[in-house]
Structure 1
Amino acid sequence: MPPGVARAVRRGLRDPASVLTLRATAAATLAYVVALRLSSEPAPLTAPLTALLVVQVTLYSTLTTGIRRVNSVVAGVLIAIGFSAVTGLSWWSLGLIILAALTVGRFVRVDEFVNEVAISAMLVLGVTRLASQAWDRVLETLVGAGVGLLFNLVFAPPVWVDTAGQAVEDLARRARHLLLRIGEELDGPSRAERAAERLHEARRLDQAIAEVDAALRQAEDSLRLNPRISEGLLSRVVLRTGLDTLEICVVVIRVLARSLTDLAKRREPEAGLFPPEVTVELEELLAHLGGALVSFAVLVSTQVSRNAEEAEARLAAELAAAWAVRDNVAQLLLRKVQEHPDAWQLHGSLLAEIDRILDELALDHRSRRLMEELDRASATRRDRLPRLARLQRLSRLTGRGRPTA
């Protein structure tokens, strides 16, 4: 296989949409083959349709979608059977059955499949030999849902933790790139338009968090009920707390860009934002901040790998260098503020924003936040499954009290 084709195949196997396409196609075809043997219909297309809609990119979403899908179809068929005993198909009976199906769909907890209740009822009401074909539709639905669920149980879907980790790293690298551009433009004329461009870029970066959050939710779903994962809770909490920290940092970067924009508006167009000695130190500080963001993202995404210690060491080094440069910047700004006190609020807010980012990325802060979230998640699990928690405690006590040889 040519190298270019091989790379394209590997990228496709890492793409959730490509994986879902292949899995849904295989499950729908298998469901149709099974339904041909079990249903009396010559073309039992309801089974592959159900499998196509049930099979999702994760096992957890497949299970929950399958249950809602079966509920919606069965509810629609039962409504159609009830109406057929009273009236045939006409414009007013069609309106009544749609109204009844949509109303019932709100109460049977089918969520996004509310319309499927009405669709199933209309399709069944419009066919001949209503009773037999209605139950054939129920059978085909059960076959499609069962095949979809079994397909994901036998061929477990991929775990999308790496994809979510890559999205977190990409977000951090975009933030680093923005900080580097801000630092490079500090030594030029203080054009308010250029500072405003960086502010708009920071706002776009803030909006990109939603895309990373979607990738992280998909990764969290892929860890639930997956037989190949034993430490799903730890992986979910590590990624979630990491994204929360980066989200705070991105918001602070936007505020920092706002402060620099306001400062640029106060300066003359031909003047720089800061004196040359402050500009050099501040550019180095922003570079260290960007490096710390990327190191933090790598640490979060490689928490359980052999690269975690190396990423943690890089993060500690970047933070130490950033704090050292930050102290120099603070001393330089203090002297400049004493000479020209008109912009002391903006200078102070600039340092406060940098301090906030450094505090959020600190290793002890991350460890404390991680432990708090793990304790909260464990407490929530105990509240949801009290009997299981009691059995686990009882088994631990029994194990401790068991005599040793």
Structure 2
Amino acid sequence: MAEARDERGWLAVVADRAWPGRPTRWTDLPTRLRPTLAWVLRLTSAAVIAWLIAGRVTGISTDLTAPLTALLVVQASAFSTLRMSVLRVGAVLTGVLVAVAFSALAGLSWWSLAAVIAASLVLAKVFRLGEQALEVPISAMLILAVGSADVAAEARVALTLVGAAVGVVFNLLLPSAVPSGRAGLAVLRVAYAMADCLDRASRSMATDRLRRSEVERWADETRGVAARVAEASAVVTQVKEGRRFNPRALTTTDVEPGLREGLDRLEASLLAIRALFTVILAELPPDADGDEAAGAAADDAFDEDARQALSVVLADVADCLRAYGRLVHAEAGGAQERAEEALAESLEILRETRAILTELLTSRPEGRVELWLLRGSVLAAVEQVLVQLDLERRARLRAAWQRPTPISVVAPLVRDALPGARTRRHGSWSGAPDAVSGTSTTHQPR
């Protein structure tokens, strides 16, 4: 029985690392997979429709230029504004024209491939395509690979225009979902990375005295987490940009303020943790051959009881960071009740262990000023994390940004004003969920 429990616990840890924020019940799995299936269906439909329309318009059914162009335009405009969609179409068309020109002059060889790539990159710079520059050589190479040799250049251009038109129409009539779930997952991964760093420090501190080399490694790991913060910030920015010119944004809650605030709080907590490791590092001498000098200095700063207590506090801080990340992720999906309870419990445990650590550090009779500064900095860092992860502040913020969207307020009024609305409300509409003013659906992580 004990081995089975250990195996289940190990599998749960692996599953959490592989899929942070994974559903815990089988009944939740279809809801989490639905956005991915919708994404696959959307791209597949655009490519097939482009191929059918291109065949009707040009009479050519053996060339895949049209579906390829539609696929590139639709998938790359998933999180883009109207301007970015236009840039994408321009990049694809430029790449296709380059490929058509070179395929008319020479076949596919190493030198023609190099010429296509070089010319595509130069044109991308000339047309100032910015982030879409790489799409020009990519489109050109794909056209060279899948284009039929017996298709004329004029027909290839016509097929490209048909595919681009289908892609643009798809983005206008069937806009992509706002990537709220993807952004929530990015924030969650930041929280997990911070927590993993603290867990490693906690385990090391619980088994052995402090060493300068280990503390330096912990500080380096926190600097690595800063890169994850930058990546998550870019994804959260995509949520804000993805709502522009997107009709689906009218029926969904704008979760970008909550995601941005949650990421800012995690970043502030990361700075506090880095400051904690920095002040500890400042009091430790370089590791000696026998580590006697370093061990004595570490024992002066933290005796056995204080070191064990600090180890427990760091583990509890890690639990709070994971719980906070899960809360931010759950808020993006509109289901934060369980996550909020878990965070409240983790914060309460941290406050208790922080009180024990405070008593141990402040009751020591040492009179060295630097030790008092070190211990005070340790306690201040833990307090800073508690302040940043405060649940009441998070609830006030959530009440501000989880307001009904304009369409969810107007839609019930319009519905009630329609003829027979009262009959439908008491008849066939009774007991049915309100598709407009009910819980908003957002893109969940895959």
TM-score with structure 2 setting the length: 0.60
- Are the structure 2 counterparts of residues 103 and 310 from structure 1 closer, same or farther at C-alpha, using a change threshold of 3 Å? closer
- Please say if 1:51 is aligned against 2:51: no
SS at match of 1:312: helix
What residue number does 1:167 align with?
186
Q: Counterparts in 2 of 1:32-181, with a 5 A limit?
A: 32-39=51-58, 45-56=64-75, 59-61=78-80, 63-71=82-90, 112-113=132-133, 116=136, 139-152=158-171, 157-158=176-177, 160-181=179-200
Report deviation, 1:242: 1.1
1:292, CA displacement in angstroms?
1.8
The alpha carbon displacement at 1:54 in A equals 0.4
Name the structure 2 match of 1:241. 261
Say if 2:221 is the partner of 1:201. Answer: yes
Aligned to 1:269: 295
Match among 261, 278, 301 for residue 258 of structure 1: 278
Please tell me whether residue 293 in structure 1 is matched to residue 321 in structure 2.
Answer: yes
Q: Which has the higher helix share?
A: 1
Helix, strand or coil at the partner of 2:283: helix
Quickly say closer, same or farther: Cα 1:354–1:115, change in 2 above 3 A. closer
Question: Aligned to 2:363, what secondary structure does the other structure show?
Answer: helix
2: CA distance, partners of 1:39 / 1:62: 31
- Counterparts in 2 of 1:248 and 1:15: CA distance versus 1, 3 Å: farther
1:311 aligns with 2:339: yes
Rounded Cα–Cα distance in structure 2 between residues aligned with 1:31 and 1:370 = 43
What's the CA shift string for 1:222-257, capped at 9, x where partnerless?
555554454645312212221221122223223322
* Alpha-carbon separation, structure 2, partners of 1:311 and 1:200: 30
Question: Which consecutive residues of structure 2, in runs of 5 or more, have no partner in the other structure?
Answer: 1-25, 98-104, 106-114, 144-151, 287-292, 414-446
Who is 1:326 aligned against?
Answer: 354
Report % sequence identity: 30
Match of 1:284 among 312, 321, 339: 312
Cα offsets for 1:122-167 (capped at 9, x unmatched): x9xxxxxxxxx88756643432122123334565545543343233
The separation in 1 between residues aligned to 2:251 and 2:387, in whole angstroms, is: 28
TM-score (norm 1): 0.65
SS in 2 for 1:209: helix
- The answer to whether structure 1 residue 346 and structure 2 residue 374 are counterparts is yes
- Structure 1 residue aligned with 2:50: 31
**What is the deviation of 1:318?**
2.9
Write the distance in 2 (CA, Å) between the matches of 1:347 and 1:304: 38
CA–CA distance in structure 2, aligned partners of residues 44 and 298 of structure 1: 47
Q: Letter of the 1:290 partner, please give it.
A: A
Match of 1:186 among 202, 205, 208: 205
Does residue 362 (structure 1) correspond to residue 390 (structure 2)? The answer is yes
In structure 2, distance between residues paired with 1:169 and 1:185: 25
Taking a change above 3 Å as real, the CA distance of residues 13 and 189 of structure 1, as seen in their structure-2 partners, is: closer
**SS of residue matched to 1:336:** coil
Query: In angstroms, what is the RMSD of aligned CA positions?
Result: 4.9
CA distance in 2, matches of 1:52, 1:76: 14
**How far apart, CA to CA, are the structure 2 residues paired with 1:56 and 1:136?**
24
